[in-house]
Amino acid sequence: MLKQLLSHKLRIVLGLVFVVLLAVVRAYEDQLFYDPFLNYFKSDYNSLPLPSYNSFQLLMGLLLRYGLNTILSLGLIYALFQDVTMIKFVFFLYVFFFLVLISLFYVTIHFNGAHDNLTLFYVRRFLIQPIFVILFIPAFYYQKLSK
Protein backbone atom coordinates (compact mmCIF):
# COMPACT_ATOMS: atom_id res chain seq x y z
CA MET A 1 0.00 0.00 0.00
CA LEU A 2 2.79 2.42 0.90
CA LYS A 3 4.62 1.62 -2.36
CA GLN A 4 1.46 2.36 -4.30
CA LEU A 5 1.03 5.70 -2.50
CA LEU A 6 4.65 6.67 -3.12
CA SER A 7 4.34 5.84 -6.81
CA HIS A 8 1.51 8.38 -7.09
CA LYS A 9 3.20 11.27 -5.25
CA LEU A 10 2.50 13.81 -7.99
CA ARG A 11 -1.18 12.90 -8.16
CA ILE A 12 -1.51 13.18 -4.39
CA VAL A 13 0.28 16.54 -4.26
CA LEU A 14 -1.77 17.85 -7.19
CA GLY A 15 -4.98 16.67 -5.51
CA LEU A 16 -4.01 18.43 -2.28
CA VAL A 17 -3.23 21.63 -4.21
CA PHE A 18 -6.73 21.60 -5.71
CA VAL A 19 -8.30 21.00 -2.28
CA VAL A 20 -6.31 23.91 -0.82
CA LEU A 21 -7.36 26.15 -3.73
CA LEU A 22 -11.02 25.25 -3.10
CA ALA A 23 -10.49 26.26 0.54
CA VAL A 24 -8.87 29.55 -0.56
CA VAL A 25 -11.91 30.35 -2.70
CA ARG A 26 -14.08 29.77 0.35
CA ALA A 27 -11.82 31.79 2.65
CA TYR A 28 -11.79 34.87 0.39
CA GLU A 29 -15.40 34.70 -0.79
CA ASP A 30 -16.24 38.13 0.63
CA GLN A 31 -13.48 39.85 -1.35
CA LEU A 32 -13.76 37.86 -4.59
CA PHE A 33 -17.49 37.70 -5.32
CA TYR A 34 -20.53 39.95 -5.28
CA ASP A 35 -23.07 38.18 -3.09
CA PRO A 36 -25.28 40.17 -0.72
CA PHE A 37 -26.73 36.87 0.48
CA LEU A 38 -23.47 35.94 2.24
CA ASN A 39 -24.15 38.21 5.21
CA TYR A 40 -27.90 37.69 4.94
CA PHE A 41 -27.62 33.95 5.56
CA LYS A 42 -25.04 34.45 8.32
CA SER A 43 -27.61 36.45 10.28
CA ASP A 44 -31.12 35.58 11.47
CA TYR A 45 -32.46 35.42 7.93
CA ASN A 46 -35.86 33.98 8.87
CA SER A 47 -36.93 37.28 10.40
CA LEU A 48 -35.31 39.59 7.81
CA PRO A 49 -36.48 40.63 4.37
CA LEU A 50 -34.31 39.69 1.41
CA PRO A 51 -31.35 42.02 0.91
CA SER A 52 -31.34 44.38 -2.03
CA TYR A 53 -29.23 43.07 -4.88
CA ASN A 54 -28.23 43.81 -8.44
CA SER A 55 -29.59 40.86 -10.41
CA PHE A 56 -26.92 40.97 -13.14
CA GLN A 57 -24.02 41.36 -10.70
CA LEU A 58 -25.39 38.53 -8.58
CA LEU A 59 -25.66 36.29 -11.64
CA MET A 60 -22.09 37.12 -12.68
CA GLY A 61 -20.81 36.58 -9.13
CA LEU A 62 -22.53 33.21 -8.87
CA LEU A 63 -21.33 32.24 -12.35
CA LEU A 64 -17.75 33.23 -11.52
CA ARG A 65 -17.76 31.33 -8.24
CA TYR A 66 -19.45 28.26 -9.71
CA GLY A 67 -17.07 28.34 -12.66
CA LEU A 68 -14.01 28.63 -10.44
CA ASN A 69 -15.23 25.80 -8.21
CA THR A 70 -15.97 23.73 -11.32
CA ILE A 71 -12.49 24.22 -12.77
CA LEU A 72 -10.84 23.33 -9.46
CA SER A 73 -13.16 20.34 -8.99
CA LEU A 74 -12.43 19.08 -12.50
CA GLY A 75 -8.72 19.43 -11.77
CA LEU A 76 -9.13 17.45 -8.56
CA ILE A 77 -11.10 14.70 -10.31
CA TYR A 78 -8.50 14.54 -13.09
CA ALA A 79 -5.66 14.37 -10.55
CA LEU A 80 -7.38 11.45 -8.84
CA PHE A 81 -8.63 9.44 -11.83
CA GLN A 82 -6.74 10.74 -14.92
CA ASP A 83 -9.62 9.94 -17.25
CA VAL A 84 -10.42 12.57 -19.90
CA THR A 85 -13.75 10.95 -20.82
CA MET A 86 -14.83 11.21 -17.19
CA ILE A 87 -13.82 14.88 -17.10
CA LYS A 88 -15.92 15.64 -20.19
CA PHE A 89 -18.91 13.88 -18.64
CA VAL A 90 -18.50 15.71 -15.33
CA PHE A 91 -18.14 19.04 -17.17
CA PHE A 92 -21.50 18.54 -18.91
CA LEU A 93 -23.05 17.57 -15.58
CA TYR A 94 -21.73 20.77 -14.00
CA VAL A 95 -23.14 22.88 -16.85
CA PHE A 96 -26.51 21.13 -16.63
CA PHE A 97 -26.67 21.51 -12.84
CA PHE A 98 -25.72 25.18 -13.08
CA LEU A 99 -28.54 25.89 -15.52
CA VAL A 100 -31.06 24.06 -13.34
CA LEU A 101 -29.86 25.60 -10.08
CA ILE A 102 -29.54 29.19 -11.31
CA SER A 103 -33.04 28.97 -12.80
CA LEU A 104 -34.40 27.60 -9.54
CA PHE A 105 -32.54 30.29 -7.58
CA TYR A 106 -34.08 33.17 -9.54
CA VAL A 107 -37.53 31.56 -9.65
CA THR A 108 -37.42 31.16 -5.88
CA ILE A 109 -36.33 34.77 -5.36
CA HIS A 110 -38.86 36.15 -7.81
CA PHE A 111 -41.94 34.16 -6.82
CA ASN A 112 -41.36 33.26 -3.17
CA GLY A 113 -38.96 35.91 -1.94
CA ALA A 114 -38.32 35.79 1.78
CA HIS A 115 -41.17 33.29 2.30
CA ASP A 116 -39.06 30.33 1.15
CA ASN A 117 -35.69 31.06 2.75
CA LEU A 118 -34.76 27.43 3.24
CA THR A 119 -35.08 26.56 -0.46
CA LEU A 120 -33.17 29.69 -1.38
CA PHE A 121 -30.46 28.83 1.16
CA TYR A 122 -29.92 25.29 -0.15
CA VAL A 123 -30.10 26.13 -3.84
CA ARG A 124 -27.56 28.89 -3.28
CA ARG A 125 -25.42 26.48 -1.25
CA PHE A 126 -25.19 24.11 -4.22
CA LEU A 127 -24.22 27.05 -6.43
CA ILE A 128 -21.48 28.47 -4.25
CA GLN A 129 -19.97 25.38 -2.59
CA PRO A 130 -18.14 22.53 -4.34
CA ILE A 131 -20.68 19.98 -3.13
CA PHE A 132 -20.84 18.08 -6.41
CA VAL A 133 -17.18 17.07 -6.21
CA ILE A 134 -17.92 15.48 -2.83
CA LEU A 135 -20.60 13.41 -4.55
CA PHE A 136 -18.68 12.64 -7.74
CA ILE A 137 -15.40 11.37 -6.26
CA PRO A 138 -16.91 8.45 -4.31
CA ALA A 139 -19.22 7.62 -7.22
CA PHE A 140 -16.37 7.47 -9.72
CA TYR A 141 -14.16 5.59 -7.30
CA TYR A 142 -16.88 2.97 -6.89
CA GLN A 143 -17.32 2.84 -10.65
CA LYS A 144 -13.56 2.25 -11.11
CA LEU A 145 -13.61 -0.50 -8.49
CA SER A 146 -16.56 -2.26 -10.08
CA LYS A 147 -14.87 -2.38 -13.51
| DSSP-H helix ranges across the chain | 2-7, 9-27, 29-32, 37-42, 55-81, 84-107, 117-128, 131-146
What is this structure's pTM?
A: 0.88
Domain total of the chain:
1
Which tens digits make up the pLDDT trace of 6-34? 667 888 899 999 999 999 999 999 899 99
Rounded distance between C-alpha atoms, residue 74 and residue 65, angstroms: 14
> Between the CA atoms of 76, 79, 83 and 87, what dihedral angle is there, to the nearest 10 degrees?
20
Rounded distance between C-alpha atoms, residue 98 and residue 64, angstroms: 11
| Predicted pLDDT at 129 | 92
| Predicted pLDDT at 26 | 93
Domain of 44 in residue numbering reads as 2-146
Per the model's pLDDT, the better-predicted residue between 82 and 112 turns out to be 82
For all residues of the chain together, what is the average pLDDT?
A: 89
| Predicted pLDDT at 44 | 73
Of the candidates 105, 108, 117, 112, which has an alpha carbon nearest to the alpha carbon of residue 47?
Answer: 117
- CB distance 77 to 86 below 8 Å: yes
Rounded distance between C-alpha atoms, residue 45 and residue 42, angstroms: 7
